[in-house]
Amino acid sequence: MTNTAHWIRQTHLFRKDEYQCSACGFLSGKPAAACLHCGAKMKGAKSGRSWVDEMAAFDAIFED
Ligand SMILES: [Zn+2]
């Protein structure tokens, strides 16, 4: 069985955003292609490619 879900972005004022799986509630530090916990395939909530690009740019800003 292949589930699909999407990341719910949890913004925080003083630390990096987290991404919550809409299927199982797992919190991830970055929006992976699939949930690390339940394995659901992630769909961009908005228009796919631009959403991914936006996330990639956002990660770059906060890269350690
Ligand atoms: Zn999940």
What whole-number distance in Å separates Cα of residue 37 and Cα of residue 40? 8
> How many Å apart are CA 24 and CA 58, to the nearest integer?
24
Q: pLDDT tens, position by position, for the chain (64 residues)?
A: 578 999 999 998 898 999 999 999 999 999 899 999 999 999 865 444 555 555 665 666 655 6
Q: Which residue has the tokens 């879900």?
A: 5
> What is the span of the domain harbouring residue 15?
4-61
Measured in Å, residue 26 CA sits from the centre of ligand 1 at 5
**Domains of the chain: total:** 1
pLDDT at 48: 46
Residues with Cβ–ion distance below 5 A, ligand 1: 21, 23-24, 26, 35, 37-38, 40
Give CA separation, 50 vs 4, 5, 46, 57, 64, in Å: 19, 18, 8, 10, 23
CA 56 to ligand 1 centroid distance, Å:
20
Centroid of ligand 1 to alpha carbon of 62 (angstroms)? 24
Q: CA-CA distance, 19 to 4, in Å (whole number)?
A: 15
